[in-house]
Amino acid sequence: MSAGGGADDGTRPARNALGRHLALIGFMGAGKTTIAPEVGARLARKVVELDAVIAGSTGETVGAFGGKGEAFFRVQEAGHALGALGGREPVVVSFGGGAVTSPSVRSGLHRSAFTVLLEVEPGEAWRRVGGSRPLAQDEEQFRSLYAERDPLYRSTADAVVPSGDLDGVLLAAAGVHHERGGLERLGDLVPGDGPVALVADATVMGIHGAAAQTALGDRLVSRHELPSGEQAKQLGVVARLWSELRLDRKGTIVALGGGALTDVAGFTASTYLRGVPWVAVPTTLVGQVDAGIGGKTAIDIPEGKNLVGAFHWPARVVIDELLLETLPERERRQGLAELVKTELLAGAPLDVRGAAAYKSALCVRDPHDRGPRAWLNLGHTFAHALEAAAGFELPHGEAVALGLLAALKLSGRDTSPVVDALDPQPVRVDREAAWQALLRDKKRSGDEIVLVLLGADGPTVEPRPADEVRQALYTLIR
């Protein structure tokens, strides 16, 4: 996925599809009609196929311009496009190849949509549709039309994704940029042109800080080192960072590090000057498949993990898998637990990009965690309780692995995917402390504990008796 040149106010690109229509544009044969239903299903959004809408309203075949010529068709197309973009409920709109030739349609896209260009080479486009459409009868003319329209597509789009790349569309919709070597282009990938504050822990700053600073160039005005891991997620650390920052409202915080670092930097960004933009650059596997995506930021307090936080969506997430090459094996295993969790939810094997796309889609679908985004808590009710009982000395991935084991057992599911990949071992913590931490968890309903489990048709959210949950928790403690 790469950034395009569209604008949500006529001057700057839209950053994501949150609260906006998701528009698919591209040349004939780009696969917009094919991929739109898949995108709609993953985002739980209605799909508007513009050509079908026009055909339904006129009763004539769109492929032949309704028998009334292209000029008449474009007028009809623009009217229906603006109608689709004028609705308040965000939808997925699949546009015909020539729709963006209308200035009014381009203006409507800039105002109301996050626009994704599905990129297809002219030769492949001709192979797919040559001879089947009125503007695809002569290959030389077809290629000439492609060359004429391509700059218009790119200046209209907020992101460019290869044809057929469902994960790419979902990542783009969430403002996630996946690119090996992306750290080297960080200066281009941080939206805007204001000052930047770089935040990382000492270890990450030592490994990747120089490359990040070089990439950010003259925009970098300060760098800030935080403690490592959960020690960073303390109010005192946030207070120190508030005091050190010298950004104005056009400034951006760049968070370079693992899940704990992006949590605290994002929370700081949500509160500094009542909210400034931030960019997450996760350097760990857990950050790249989970923690760095979706805008949930938080710090810990003695009573529990992540109990103070805010929803503050990153202006961009930059996932560079080359950063994982320096990851210690134990840290890689922490992220592996979140990857296994996502595979269990998706019901399929996933790589880093696929797992990031799965979470991206859920978060765009449910940005404030009031519905299906809760699925991402599979195993986490137990994990957070164990972490709190261990004084946050238990690594998050090891806690999640144990939590997944308990969740699968309560779901009546085979535990071998977790056992084989993660080999979770019971931990030595105080049972009562763990139970009290679990009871403070926000997922309660009277005398029952609300858990994310796996049903026959996928993830479910359901209450279970407290005694049953307590016994499942105790099996994770030695």
**SS3 per residue for the chain:** CEECCCCCCCCCCCCCCCCCEEEEECCCCCCHHHHHHHHHHHHCCCEEEHHHHHHHHHCCCHHHHHHCCHHHHHHHHHHHHHHHHCCCCCCEEECCCCHHHCHHHHHHHHHHEEEEEEECCHHHHHHHHCCCCCCCCCHHHHHHHHHHHHHHHHHHCCEEEECCCHHHHHHHHCCEEECCCHHHHHHHHCCCCCCEEEEEEHHHHHHHHHHHHHHHHHHEEEEEEECCHHHHCCHHHHHHHHHHCCCCCCCEEEEEECHHHHHHHHHHHHHHHHCCCEEEEECCHHHHHHHCCCCEEEEEECCEEEEEEEECCCCEEEECHHHHHHCCHHHHHHHHHHHHHHHHHHCCCCCHHHHHHHHHHHHHHCCCCCCHHHHHHCCHHHHHHHHHHCCCCCCHHHHHHHHHHHHHHHCCCCCHHHHHHHCCCCECCCHHHHHHHHHCCCCEECCEEEEEEEECCEEEEEEEEHHHHHHHHHCCEC
Residue 244 sits in a domain of what CATH number?
3.40.50.1970
Asked if residue 53 is part of any domain, the answer here is yes
Question: Among the three residues 141, 171, 201, which one is the final residue of a domain in this structure?
Answer: 171
Question: Among the three residues 327, 347, 373, which one is the final residue of a domain in this structure?
Answer: 327
22 and 161 co-located in one domain: yes
State residue 355's pLDDT score: 98
The rounded distance, in Å, linking the Cα atoms of 422 and 400 is 10
Asked if residue 349 is part of any domain, the answer here is no
Question: Among the three residues 171, 194, 229, which one is the final residue of a domain in this structure?
Answer: 171
44 and 139 co-located in one domain: yes
Asked if residue 313 is part of any domain, the answer here is yes
Asked if residue 347 is part of any domain, the answer here is no
pLDDT in tens, 143-188: 999 999 999 999 999 999 999 999 999 999 999 999 999 999 999 9
Asked if residue 264 is part of any domain, the answer here is yes
286 and 417 co-located in one domain: no
249 and 373 co-located in one domain: no
Q: Taking the C-alpha atoms of 171, 193, 18 and 20 in order, what is their torsion angle to the nearest 10 degrees?
A: -110
17 and 93 co-located in one domain: yes
317 and 369 co-located in one domain: no
pLDDT in tens, 239-297: 999 999 999 999 999 999 999 999 999 999 999 999 999 999 999 999 999 999 999 99
Asked if residue 359 is part of any domain, the answer here is no
160 and 195 co-located in one domain: no
276 and 244 co-located in one domain: yes
187 and 143 co-located in one domain: no
Asked if residue 333 is part of any domain, the answer here is no
Mean pLDDT by 10 residues, the chain (478 residues): 51 84 97 97 96 73 59 82 93 94 95 97 96 92 97 97 98 98 97 96 96 98 95 96 96 96 97 97 96 94 85 97 93 93 97 98 96 95 93 90 98 96 96 93 76 94 95 97
**SS3 per residue for 167-187:** HHHHHHHCCEEECCCHHHHHH
Asked if residue 346 is part of any domain, the answer here is no
43 and 151 co-located in one domain: yes
Residue 156 sits in a domain of what CATH number?
3.40.50.300
Q: Which residues pair with 201 in a beta bridge?
A: 226
323 and 452 co-located in one domain: no
Domain count, the chain: 3
For 373, the domain range is 365-474
127 and 230 co-located in one domain: no
The one-letter amino acid at 200: A
pTM of the entire structure? 0.92
Residue 447 sits in a domain of what CATH number?
1.20.1090.10
State residue 82's pLDDT score: 93
